Amino acid sequence: MSVEVIAVGGYQEIGKNMTAVKVGADVVIFDMGLDINKLKLRVNQDISRLHSLDLIEDGIIPDDTLMRDVDGKVKAIVCTHGHLDHIGAISKLAHRYDAPIIATQYTLKLIEQIINEEKKFKVNNSLQLLNPGEKYQISPYLVLEFIRSTHSIPQSVIATLHTPEGIVIYANDFKFDNHQKISSPPDYNRFLELGRKGVLTLITGSINIDNKSQVKNYSEIVAKMILDDILKNSLRDEIGLIVATFASNIERIQSIVDIARDSGRKIFLLGKNMDKYCSLAVDMDLLDLPKKSKIYGNPNDVDKALAKVEYKRDNYLIITDGHQGEHTSLLPRIANGKTPFNIQKHDVVVLSAPVIPTQNNIANRNLMERRLLGCGARIYPNAHVSGHACREDYRDFIQMLNPAHIIPTQGNLRMLSAFAELAEEEGYKMGKDVHVLRNGQAQVFDGGV
Amino acid sequence: MSVEVIAVGGYQEIGKNMTAVKVGADVVIFDMGLDINKLKLRVNQDISRLHSLDLIEDGIIPDDTLMRDVDGKVKAIVCTHGHLDHIGAISKLAHRYDAPIIATQYTLKLIEQIINEEKKFKVNNSLQLLNPGEKYQISPYLVLEFIRSTHSIPQSVIATLHTPEGIVIYANDFKFDNHQKISSPPDYNRFLELGRKGVLTLITGSINIDNKSQVKNYSEIVAKMILDDILKNSLRDEIGLIVATFASNIERIQSIVDIARDSGRKIFLLGKNMDKYCSLAVDMDLLDLPKKSKIYGNPNDVDKALAKVEYKRDNYLIITDGHQGEHTSLLPRIANGKTPFNIQKHDVVVLSAPVIPTQNNIANRNLMERRLLGCGARIYPNAHVSGHACREDYRDFIQMLNPAHIIPTQGNLRMLSAFAELAEEEGYKMGKDVHVLRNGQAQVFDGGV
Amino acid sequence: MSVEVIAVGGYQEIGKNMTAVKVGADVVIFDMGLDINKLKLRVNQDISRLHSLDLIEDGIIPDDTLMRDVDGKVKAIVCTHGHLDHIGAISKLAHRYDAPIIATQYTLKLIEQIINEEKKFKVNNSLQLLNPGEKYQISPYLVLEFIRSTHSIPQSVIATLHTPEGIVIYANDFKFDNHQKISSPPDYNRFLELGRKGVLTLITGSINIDNKSQVKNYSEIVAKMILDDILKNSLRDEIGLIVATFASNIERIQSIVDIARDSGRKIFLLGKNMDKYCSLAVDMDLLDLPKKSKIYGNPNDVDKALAKVEYKRDNYLIITDGHQGEHTSLLPRIANGKTPFNIQKHDVVVLSAPVIPTQNNIANRNLMERRLLGCGARIYPNAHVSGHACREDYRDFIQMLNPAHIIPTQGNLRMLSAFAELAEEEGYKMGKDVHVLRNGQAQVFDGGV
Amino acid sequence: MSVEVIAVGGYQEIGKNMTAVKVGADVVIFDMGLDINKLKLRVNQDISRLHSLDLIEDGIIPDDTLMRDVDGKVKAIVCTHGHLDHIGAISKLAHRYDAPIIATQYTLKLIEQIINEEKKFKVNNSLQLLNPGEKYQISPYLVLEFIRSTHSIPQSVIATLHTPEGIVIYANDFKFDNHQKISSPPDYNRFLELGRKGVLTLITGSINIDNKSQVKNYSEIVAKMILDDILKNSLRDEIGLIVATFASNIERIQSIVDIARDSGRKIFLLGKNMDKYCSLAVDMDLLDLPKKSKIYGNPNDVDKALAKVEYKRDNYLIITDGHQGEHTSLLPRIANGKTPFNIQKHDVVVLSAPVIPTQNNIANRNLMERRLLGCGARIYPNAHVSGHACREDYRDFIQMLNPAHIIPTQGNLRMLSAFAELAEEEGYKMGKDVHVLRNGQAQVFDGGV
C-alpha cells in the first residue's frame, strides 16, 4: 500500500494550508485555509458571497481542483487549530467532499461560525469532536490521533495518522511552550514514543526557520513578563491605556487581564474579532475575566464603551486588535479620530503583536503609529513573542520523532529550502529523504518505514 | 557661581567615559574609562607599560590634557561602576590629580586591581568608599550622593552632585530593572524627590537610544527565563555544555548557576576574567555558588579542568567568556581545538551575550561559530538582554527628574542627536536646553535652575 | 553689520525648504517649498483653497510666522530651481512680503503656474528673471549672483549673496555633473574664485550625505547608458513599452527620447505632470522631441492615446510618471486595469526613478509592481542615478569654497549631523564653525570672514 | 542513450565549480575550481604541497571521489575561463583522468602556471586550445563548441556539448556586455540558433539571481564612466593615487590605464597577481599599456617602485589588488605602513572592486579602510560593476535558448531556489524541468529533447 502526500496549498506561501494524504484508496485532508495576505489585497474583504473558483484563481484559497485527479476517496477533513489560514476555506471547499470535519472543541466552534456566515455554499459536513490525546478510526486501516500541542490559540493539536506503512505526522503551526496557563505543555513523551514506533514522514511548518536572531522560541511567559513591566506604571498613571493583540491569542489576553486584574481599571475587550474569539473562550471556560469586564463587538456598543472611556480614561483598560493598522479596524480608527475616544498626550498604546511583514501592513502600521504619536501617545511597539517554533525547536522535534522522511510546508521556496538545510544538518539529504514540494506536486512513499 | 560641564571623553564614541563638572573653583570628575574597541585594534593589548600620552593619541583613553586650561581644582574622581569603559583609565590619569577616588565597594576593589597591575605610573590617590543611598561632602558647598541603580554589574550607582546652583545628575550606564536578585530596584522615589527639588542638568548615557525594535529594556529575569528553557533539556542530556557570558555580569552568572544548581552537573567558571570578577563577587557574598563549583583563572588550572570535562562531559557545566570570539579567549580556543576539551556532535554552546557590533567582533564571532558548528555543536546565539535603558526608559527618567537641561553622553553624534530628538518630544529644544557636545567642549550654566 | 542665517524650514526634514539671510536690516529669503511627504498624508491633495496657517500647522509648508520677530525687511525671494519642495509654498507665503521673486526662466515659468492655480491667495509679487552667471543688486550693499549648477531639473542654480561681511552661498539641491546634454557643467572656476575671495558661510543641502555605498554622484550619462542597454532590445521586440520617470527630469526624458529616436516607435508623453514640465521645456527649446511625438495631459486625451497603444502596442513608447505608485497616477492606474491600455505578457516597464523611501511609497510601489508582474510585465526597477551630490562631492565643494562657516540644511538631525562630521574631517568643529540648526533657530555671524 | 548531469561541486556554494556530463559511456568534465572563501580560512594559504583528499575534506576542492562510481570514461576536462574557482583544482584533480584539458588561450596559460606551481602532483594532461566559435570532436558522437561570451576576465566562453540527445549548455559565470574593449559582445545569434535546434538542458550559474536592486547587469563601460569622473581631478592634483581592482580583470585595468594615459602620471602595476595576470595579457596583446608603464611582481621590485612613488607621489598611478583587505596583500600593507610608501593627507584610494561579502572580508576591508582614513586618505569604495548576469539577463538567456530543462549551479540552496523561481515565471516547474541538485546528486535525462 503506497502513501502519497499531496501538496495542495501552503507550499509556496505562508497561508492557505491544505495537504492531502492518500493511503491506498483513502484520503485524509489536513487543513483548509485562506491566504490572508492575498485576501487583504482585495478591496472588499467580505468573501461570503464569492465562488470558490474565483477565490482559487485569485490565490486566496487552495486550488483543490487537482483532487479530481486523485484516485481515492476523501474520508476526513482534519483541522489542527482555529486560525483562518487553517480553517478559513472550509466554507468554500468542504462541501465538495462527503467527509466529516474533525477538530478540537474551540476549533469546531470557530468552523461552525464560518459555515454559518457563508452565503454562497451550503456546507453540510458533519462536525466531529476529537480531543487532544484521543484517537479516531477514519477507515479500517487508518487511525487519526490528536497530540496535545501549544500555539497562539487554544486547543491546538499536532495530528498523527497511523497507517499500515508507518506514521504520518502533520505538525503545521506549533511552538514548544512549557509555561502557558491555558494550555498544558506539548506531549513530548508521545512524540518520543511515536519516534520509537517508526514515523514514515513528518509534514512540518517552516515559519521562523530562517530567523537567525532567535533560534529557540520564547515562552508566552516572557511576553507576560515584558507586558507586566510596561503596564505596571501605566495602569497606575492618570492616562488612557490600550493594549492591542490578536483576538484569537487567548493566552496573551489572559496575561494582560491578569496583570491588570487588581489595578482598579475596568477591562473592555472591543471589536468584532474580540467578541468572536473571546466570548467563545469565556463560554468554554478558557478565558477567565474579572467580573466587571465587558466584551463588545457591535459597533454601536463599542462606540458607547469608548465614550465612557473618553469621559474617565484612567478608569479603563481597552484591549482590542488592529495592530496591523488596517483602516477599518478599531485601533487605526481611534488613531484617525473616528471614534468617541480621543488619544491625549501621554496615553499609552501597547502593541502586543508583530507587524506581519508585508509592505502593505508595514505602511499601514507605520501610518497608524505616526498618527498615534501625533496625538501624543506613547507607543510600546513590540511586546510580543512568536507563536511558532524556531530553528532549534524544529531540530529537537526531528530528534524526538526521528522520521524516515521530512516534508516542510507553509513557506515560500526559500523557507522550505532552509528547512531542508536544517534537515541535512541532521543527516537527511534533499531529494532523498527531505522533499521540497510545490503546490500541486505529490510525494509518493512506496516502501513504508 | 557658574556650573560648567566639560565633555572630556565619551561624547564621540561608546567608551572612554570622562566628564568634568566645575562649580565655582571646584571640579569633580565622573568616570575615567577606556575605549575598548580602539584598544582591541592594537595587537598587543597589555597597556600596563604604556604612557598616557600615547594612549591619548591612539584614542584609547580620554584626552584630559584639556584639564590644564580649566581654572579650578579637582576635588574628587567619582566612578559609577566597575566596567573598564568607566574605570580603565584610572591607572593612567588619576595620579595627575590630588583627589580621592570615590566609588562603591565592588567598584573600588576592581579599581584597586587595576592600580596594582599598572607598571608605568604610581597611583596613590586615596580610595573612598561610598554606598548607594549615602552622601559625601566634597567641598564646603558640594555634596556627592550615590543613588541605587541597576546595570549589568553589581553595585552600580547614579551619581548626584548637589550644588548651590541646583542638582547635577550623572547617569551613564543604567537600566531600570525591578527583578534582579543581587541588586535591588533603582531608587525611583529619590529620583522623584530630586525632580521636585530642582535638577539643573541631567548628564545621561545614550546607548540603545536608536534601537527601534526595543523601546523598553527587558529585565534580567527575562534572560533567566530564556536560559531556563534552553538549559532545561541540555543539562539532562549526555552532552557537553558551555554557557558564555560577560564575566562581570554577576547577576547573569547567578541566574545560570541557579538554573543548573540541582542538575547534578558540577560548575566550572573558567578563564582569567571569570576569576577576576567572580572570585571577588563570591568573596563579597554577591555571588552564591553551589559548594562543589570551582573558579579557575590560571591557564594551567583551566586546562586541567577542561581535561576533566573531556573525560566525562555530561558531569560539568562550563561558564566562561569569549563570546566576542577574540582569538586568545577560552571559547574561541576551544573552538579551534587548542584545549584539552574537544567539542563533539550535539554539545551545546549558549552565547548569553550580544555581539558588540564592530566589524572585527562580527568576523571573529562568526568564525568561532562556524568552527563550533563544524565540530557539531548546537549554538544558541543570543540568550541575552541588554544592560542599558531604552528609549521609553529614558523618557520615564526625564519625566521623573524634570531637569532644566539635558546633556547626553556616551555615543557618537548620531546617538546624541537621537537623544536630543527624544528630549525635544518632551518639550526641550536642541541648543537651548538640550546640548550636544563634542569631546573637548563645555557647556556653561550661569543662572542655576 | 551682522549676518544672520535663519532656519525657517527644511532643517528637520527633507522638504519645505526656506532659509532667510538677514544682513543689517535687509532680509533675503531663499526658497519657499512644500514638504511633499507630509502633503501626501492628506487624502485630498489639492491645497489650492487651503489657508497657509493650516498648512503650517500640518507641517506642509515652512512656518514663516517667526519672520514677524525678525527686525528687518524682506528685499527678495530667491528660488534656486523649480522643484515643489523649493517653490511650492510661494503661492501661500510670498504675498506677505513686498519683494520680488527672483529665479531663472524655467523656474519662473513654473512659479507662474503655481501662482495661477492658487485659489485662496492673490500673489502679486513681481517675477524677476536672473540667468546663471548674472548678478542682481538687491539693496545698496547686497548683490545676488546665480552660479551655473546641475541637478535633475533644468536651469538649477547655486545662489550667492555678496555682503559687506563676506559671501553667503546657498547651495541646496545640486549635483556635479559634467556630462549633461541640456545643462552645462557647474561653474567650478567661479566656486574657486569665490573661495579665494572669502566665503563667510556655506548653506548646503545634505541629501545623500549618509549614503555609504555611493560616495560620489553618478552622471546622468550613466543613467543613459543603463537605459540604452535595457531599451535596445525592448524597442525592437513586439511588446508594449513604458518608461516612468520624474516629469521634471527633462535631461532624463531627453536621454530616453534620444535612445528611442530611431526605433520607429512613436513617443507619447502622458499625464498631467508630463504636460506641465515637458510642454514648457519644449517651448523653451530645452527638450528636443522627434516630430511625431505627442504630449497629452488631459485625461481624455491620455485615454485616447492609450487606446491607440492598446491597438498596436509595438508602435509606441509611453513615457509617464507614477513610479511612486500613487493610486491616482497613470502607471498605477494602468497596473490596476483602469485605462484602455492593458499590460500583456512580456510588456516591459522601466522605472527610471527611485522609490522615495517613505513607508507609504514603498507599499504603493510594491503593490503596483506586484500588479504589473501579475499581468506578465517585465520590470526594470531602478534604472536611475540620483540628482544629488554625495559625500565626496560635498567634500570637494568645501575644499573649493573654503568657507569660514558651514550650515547644513535639508535633512533630519541625523543627516545634518552626518554633514557636520564630514566638515569635522575637513577641519571644522561642530558648534564652532559648523552649525546644526533646528527649524526656527538662527545663527548670527558678527565678525565677518 | 541517456544524458546524466552530475553535480560534483558548486551546487551548495559559490566556488569549487565542477560538473560532469555523461552521455552514454563518455564523460565530459566542466571546470575544476577552488572554494576561495574556504581556502582563506586556512592560515597557510599555500596549497601546493597538500593532498587532494585533505583539500576535499576541508571543502576547498570538489569531492570528485564520487566519479569512481560513474560508469563511464572521462574524455575531456573543459575550463570556461581562468578564474581560480573554475581552474584552481586542476593541479589536484586532473591527473586522475586520462583526458585533455580544453580551454581558450588565456585560460590555458593560467592553467599551465597552476600546474607548474604544483609540488604534490604531476599533472601530465595534454592542453588543448579551443577558440571561441570553434568546435572540437571529443568522441564519435560528442562535439564541444565554445561560444564567445563576456565576463570579468579575457577569453571567457560558454561551453556547448552537442550530443545525440540534444544540446547541453554549460554557462557558468558570464555577463551580457556589449561595450567591452577587449572582448566582443556575446554571440547572441548562436544562442538563438541553438535555441531553435533544441537545447536539452542549460546548466547555468546563479550569482546575482537574488539581487533585487539590480536586475540587469551594467556594462564595463559604466565602470569606466564612473572611474573617469573620479580620476579626472585626482590625476591632476598633487596627491598620491592608488586604484585597486582584481588583477584578472584586464578590461577594467585597460579602462583605468586609458583614463590615465594622457595625465603625465607613470603607471605602476604592483603585486604578484598583477604580474601574473597582466604580464600575460600584455604578452598576448590583450592589454595595451603606455610605453613607460611598469609591472612589478617581485617584492623587492615592488618596494623599489613604492620608494620612487614616495619620493614624488604625483608622478605615478599605482594599480594593485588587495581590495579585500587580506593582511598579506599590498594595499593593506600600505595601509599598515609596512612599505616604503606612506599615505598622506588627501591621497586618493579608489577601490574598483566589491567586498566579497564574507564576514572575514568585511572585517579586513573595514580595518584597511579605517587605517587608510586614519592616514588622511580619501576613499572611493565602490567604483565597480559586477561581472555576472542579473535576473533579467538570465531571463533573456532562457528565452533565447528555450531549453527543455534547466539546472542552476554555483550557489547555495537559496540562490538555486531563486533561479528555479525565475524559471517557473518562464513556464518551467521545479522538480519537473528545472532541477535543484546538491553536490553529489545527478539528474538523468532519458528521452532527449
pLDDT-wise least confident of A358-372, A395-409, D91-105, D220-234: A358-372
Question: Which is nearest to D434 in space by CA: D173, D213, D203, D132?
Answer: D203
pLDDT in tens, A262-316: 999 999 999 999 999 999 999 999 999 999 999 999 999 999 999 999 999 999 9
The x, y and z cell numbers of residue D272, run together, are 604578484
Region D278-285 average pLDDT: 97
Question: Which is nearest to C411 in space by CA: C265, C226, C209?
Answer: C209
Tell if the CB–CB gap between C438 and B431 is shorter than 8 Å.
Answer: yes
Minimum Cα–Cα distance from C370: chain A residue: A41
Region A190-195 average pLDDT: 98
pLDDT in tens, B377-410: 999 998 999 999 999 999 999 999 999 999 999 9
The x, y and z cell numbers of residue A81, run together, are 487549530
Q: What is residue B447's predicted lDDT score, i.e. its pLDDT?
A: 67
Q: Count Cα neighbours of B272 within 13 Å in the Cβ-side half-sphere.
A: 6
User: Which residues 220-239 of C have a C-beta within 8 angstroms of D?
Assistant: 221-222, 225-226, 229-230, 232-233
Residue C444, burial from CB neighbour count under 10 angstroms (0-12, 13-18, 19+): exposed
Give the distance from residue A380's alpha carbon to the nearest chain B alpha carbon, in angstroms. Answer: 7
**In angstroms, rounded to a whole number, what is the distance separating the alpha carbons of residues B446 and C370?**
61
Q: What is residue A21's predicted lDDT score, i.e. its pLDDT?
A: 98
Q: What is residue C408's predicted lDDT score, i.e. its pLDDT?
A: 98
pLDDT in tens, A17-45: 999 999 999 999 999 999 998 888 765 56
Region D101-115 average pLDDT: 98
Region B29-33 average pLDDT: 98
Strands B294-296 and B166-171: unpaired
User: DSSP letters along D389-425, please?
Assistant: --HHHHHHHHHHH--SEEEEESS-HHHHHHHHHHHHH
| Probe site for chain B from C422, C438, C441, C443 (most B CB atoms < 10 A) | C438
Find the DSSP H helices in D133-278: 188-197, 220-236, 250-260, 272-274
**In angstroms, rounded to a whole number, what is the distance separating the alpha carbons of residues D271 and D279?**
11
**In angstroms, rounded to a whole number, what is the distance separating the alpha carbons of residues A215 and A209?**
8
Give the distance from residue A147's alpha carbon to the nearest chain C alpha carbon, in angstroms. Answer: 40
Tell if the CB–CB gap between D225 and C226 is shorter than 8 Å.
Answer: no
Q: What is residue D370's predicted lDDT score, i.e. its pLDDT?
A: 86
Averaged pLDDT of chain D: 94
Q: What is residue B44's predicted lDDT score, i.e. its pLDDT?
A: 59
Paired strand residues for A199: A167
Cβ atoms within 10 Å of C240's Cβ, excluding its own: 25
Region D80-100 average pLDDT: 97
**In angstroms, rounded to a whole number, what is the distance separating the alpha carbons of residues A177 and B52?**
54
Say whether domain B3-214+387-445 belongs to CATH 3.60.15.10: yes
Neighbours of chain C (3+ CB pairs under 8 A): A, B, D
Averaged pLDDT of chain A: 94
C162 SS3 class = strand
- ipTM computed for the complex: 0.93
Residue A406, φ and ψ in degrees, nearest 5 = -130, 135
Q: Establish, for the pair of chains C and D, how many residue pairs have beta carbons separated by less than 8 Å.
A: 53
Q: What is residue B362's predicted lDDT score, i.e. its pLDDT?
A: 82
Q: Are D410 and D206 in contact (CB under 8 A)?
A: yes
Region D392-402 average pLDDT: 97
Q: Which residue would you say has higher pLDDT here, D156 or B370? A: D156
**Chain centroid, CA A210 distance in Å:** 19
Q: What is residue C148's predicted lDDT score, i.e. its pLDDT?
A: 98
Minimum Cα–Cα distance from D422: chain C residue: C378
D437 touches chain A (CB under 8 A): yes
Q: Domain ranges in chain C?
A: 3-214+387-445, 220-380
Region B124-141 average pLDDT: 97
Contacts of C12 (CB under 8 A, 6+ apart): C412, C413, C438, C439
D178 SS3 class = coil
**Chain centroid, CA D200 distance in Å:** 26
Give the distance from residue A178's alpha carbon to the nearest chain C alpha carbon, in angstroms. Answer: 38
Q: What is residue B1's predicted lDDT score, i.e. its pLDDT?
A: 84
A263 touches chain D (CB under 8 A): no
**In angstroms, rounded to a whole number, what is the distance separating the alpha carbons of residues A215 and D313?**
53
Averaged pLDDT of chain B: 94
Q: What is residue C27's predicted lDDT score, i.e. its pLDDT?
A: 97
Low-confidence ranges of chain C (pLDDT < 50): none
Question: Residue D449 — very low, low, confident or very high, per pLDDT cuts 50/70/90?
Answer: low
Question: Measured between CB atoms, which of D413, D429, D431 is closest to A421?
Answer: D413
The x, y and z cell numbers of residue A189, run together, are 513523551
Tell if the CB–CB gap between B396 and A225 is shorter than 8 Å.
Answer: no
Tell if the CB–CB gap between A380 and B392 is shorter than 8 Å.
Answer: yes
Give the distance from residue D443's alpha carbon to the nearest chain A alpha carbon, in angstroms. Answer: 11
Q: Is the pLDDT of residue B43 over 60?
A: no
Say whether domain B220-380 belongs to CATH 3.40.50.10710: yes
**Encoded amino acid at D297, one letter:** G
Q: Is the pLDDT of residue B290 over 90?
A: yes
Residues in chain C closer than 8 A to A362 (CB atoms): 359, 362-363
Tell if the CB–CB gap between A359 and C360 is shorter than 8 Å.
Answer: no
Q: Are C81 and C153 in contact (CB under 8 A)?
A: yes
> What pTM was estimated for this model as a whole?
0.90
Sign, CA torsion C432/C433/C439/C443: positive
